[in-house]
Structure 1
Amino acid sequence: MLIVGERINTSTKRIAQAVETGDAALIAKVAREQVTAGADFVDVNAGTFLEKEVDYLPWLVETVQDALDVPLCLDSPNPEALIKALRCHKGEPMINSISLEEDRFRNLLPVVTSRPCKVVALCMAQTSMPTTADERIAVASELIERLTKAGIALDKIYVDPLAQPVSVDVKMGSAVLQAIAEIMKRFPGVNTICGLSNISYGLPARRLVNRSFLTLALAHGLTAAILDPTDTRLVATLLATQMLLGRDEYCSN
């Protein structure tokens, strides 16, 4: 199970202020806390600064990797920002994300094929957000076909079935779970990933909902998640679920 730490995101006021003021110490501290808690990758997102993202994203990359030896998830649909961030990234990054939206696919394909990387393939097409499992599976199938045809290995692709709030539609959770299971069945070797907290948006007891959804998603084949690794109860749930699914051979975690 690959864990991507989600906390360096400028949609959070504290992170936005740190990026604007160049507070490298705070950014490094938040990154270190996540790695210590078990993150395999640290997500960096400066997307709320539309005009300055092209400068802020590479600054985040340099700031985190100057402090820690950890690969990063470069979270942006902006090809210019990604290109600049890739130039200073050490090691193999994850790029989050490409989709079937035509402009986005056309602009980002040269970026994700420019060097070895993991690629998040978001189940979003040109016309609308997917609502059913079948719609997600159809988009995922086309994305996988086009990405592998472009030379990206199947095991470098992380399909994101696009978890959406169950507060909007109670069937969103089951649709994502069905999509995960079918994608993993149809494409042995591919990975699936999701932004865990999206599922609980607008609900009370969000952490309980997130933990419950994570358990179900793991049982359906999820191989990676974007989450807060400093949430000890969430990580404990993840480890216990992995053990019960037979993925912790000596029950050592």
Structure 2
Amino acid sequence: MLIIGELINTSRKLIREAVEKKDGEYIKQVAKAQEEAGATYIDVNCGTCIETEVETMEWLVDNILQVTSLPLCIDSPNPLALQAGLKKAANGKLMINSITFETPRWNAVLPLVKEFNTKIIALCIDDGGMPKTNEDRIRIADSIITKLTGEGINIDDIYIDPLIKPVSAGQKNGIEVLQAIQNIMEGHPGVHTTCGLSNISYSLPARKVLNTLFMVQTMARGMDSYIMDPTNKEMRRALIASQTLLGQDRFSRKFIKAFREGLYD
């Protein structure tokens, strides 16, 4: 299970304030907390800093790498910021968040994937826009995987994001994503799927409950990566317990270790 820690994002108030004040110690604190909570990647996103995004990305990466050896997921709509972050980040196998099948984005990001030999999150969006049906998701995912592997990208480095829509906007939005995950994983052995979970509960009460239960449901369909807050104990409890029940925890060692460390107190 690959966990991408989502907390270093300037859309979050405390991170934005730390960037504005050049408070590197706070950024280091957040990075270290995510590592200690079990993140395997740390996402770095300063896309709200439109005028200074390249410089801010470099500053963030410099601070993060002072306290962690985890590889980074460089996250930006701006290819120049992606490139700047990738050049600065030298830890392990890097990841880019994200590419789409839209022609401009594809042409801008694919060369970076090749140059830096990264893992890549691929959103199910093409020149026609967001998927309107489950069939659209599967079609776009099939096209992206075929094209990326045809360009020499290892299928093990591809993470398809099927794009979650709120169940408040359509009662079948949840089940359609579950069906897409299963279809994508079964249709392309070796590929991965990932997502951010919070969209599923948008505009509804008790969002943490919905997010946690949807994570469990997606795991049962084969999803093997999440963009999430690894310091959220409720999510970690559910994730580790689900891994154990799904046969992904040899001799239940992860679950026992987490219990002994007090996670289930």
Give the TM-score range, shorter chain: over 0.9
Q: CA deviation at 1:252?
A: 1.2
Q: Map of 1:187-226 to 2, 5 A cutoff?
A: 187-226=188-227
2:40 partner amino acid: D
SS in 1 for 2:44: strand
TM-score by length of 2: 0.93
TM-score by length of 1: 0.97
Match of 2:232 in 1: 231
Q: CA deviation at 1:150?
A: 1.2
Q: Does 1:59 align with 2:65?
A: no
- Cα distance between partner residues in 1 of 2:244 and 2:8: 29
SS in 2 for 1:252: helix
Match of 1:11 in 2: 11
Q: Does 1:76 align with 2:76?
A: yes
Q: CA deviation at 1:124?
A: 0.9
SS in 2 for 1:164: coil
Moved more, 50-59 or 173-182: 50-59
Aligned residues: 253
Unaligned runs of 5+ in 2: 255-265
Unaligned runs of 5+ in 1: none
Q: CA deviation at 1:132?
A: 2.1
Q: CA deviation at 1:76?
A: 1.0
Q: Map of 1:113-124 to 2, 5 A cutoff?
A: 113-124=114-125
- Cα distance between partner residues in 2 of 1:165 and 1:220: 19
SS in 2 for 1:163: coil
Whether the aligned pair in 2 keeps the contact of 1:34 and 1:230 (CA below 8 Å) is yes
- Cα distance between partner residues in 2 of 1:168 and 1:194: 18
- Quote the sequence identity (%): 47
2:161 partner amino acid: D
> How large is the Cα RMSD of the aligned pairs?
1.0
Whether the aligned pair in 2 keeps the contact of 1:18 and 1:27 (CA below 8 Å) is yes
- Cα distance between partner residues in 2 of 1:89 and 1:106: 22
Q: Map of 1:107-118 to 2, 5 A cutoff?
A: 107-118=108-119
1:187 partner amino acid: H
Whether the aligned pair in 2 keeps the contact of 1:77 and 1:108 (CA below 8 Å) is no
